Amino acid sequence: MSLLLLILLAAPSRAAGLGGHEEQSSSQTQTAFDQRRAVLEEMWQRRLLPPDQRMWSPEDYELLEKIRRAENDALSLLKRKFGGYRSWTARPRRGQGVSLLTKEGYGKYIFILTQEAIDYFESRGADAKWVFKLKDLDGRSLFDGRGAITEAGAQVYRLARQNQEVFWRGPDGAVSGTRRPPGQAPSSSPGISTKSP
């Protein structure tokens, strides 16, 4: 019995490996706190949350991720369209840094990108009443239920705008793109535009 007690007393350091709980170090706790604080400050700066709000929802965090992914393209589009983007950005609170796209700036970017994408897809043969039903080749919608461009749609449109090879599917299943779809002869695909954008 004393041998068993001795073994149990000698084994607490291995408890985590055996399904027990391991104490989180103070440096890990501090790192987690610092990361949470940095995200919260970024959300305040980007105006996703009011400055007195200390918690965010999963939807808030998802929007933050979308803004981060779109930021470079958004800033260049806003600059191209309006000659600048200052009214849609915020400066970081600490130190010097690049301007951060705000929630309002992201909304403006999505609005403009949607309008440009609609014009582009219509110019490529998509009928106006069906343009919101377009999908990429993986089946993801290019526009959401409100008529705004989705991330998949933005990706397809950006590639198309750069005249890179990209394809999309109409509601009837017909494939269109910046090049002739693979495996289709030019004459066998009426309604598919093969001219360059």
Percent of the chain whose pLDDT exceeds 70: 77
pLDDT at 26: 74
The tens digit of pLDDT for each residue in 171-193 reads 999 999 999 876 665 544 334 33
Q: Which residue has the higher pLDDT, 129 or 191?
A: 129
3 state DSSP class of 50: coil
User: Nearest-CA neighbor of 138 among 168, 115, 116, 180?
Assistant: 168
What is the rounded CA–CA span in Å between residue 166 and residue 157?
9
What is the rounded CA–CA span in Å between residue 147 and residue 115?
10
What does the block give as tokens for 82?
Answer: 């309006």
Among 9-23, 113-127, 162-176, the range scoring the smallest mean pLDDT is: 9-23
Phi and psi based region of residue 133 (left: phi greater than 0; alpha: psi -120 to 50; beta: remaining): alpha
pLDDT at 152: 96
The tens digit of pLDDT for each residue in 143-159 reads 999 999 999 999 999 99
The structural domains of the chain, with segments of one domain joined by +, span 124-197
pLDDT at 144: 96
pLDDT at 193: 38
pLDDT at 14: 44
What mean pLDDT do residues 3-26 have? 48
Percent of the chain whose pLDDT exceeds 90: 61
What mean pLDDT do residues 45-70 have? 94
What is the rounded CA–CA span in Å between residue 122 and residue 170?
12
pLDDT at 142: 97
> Per the confidence metrics, is the pTM higher than 0.85?
no
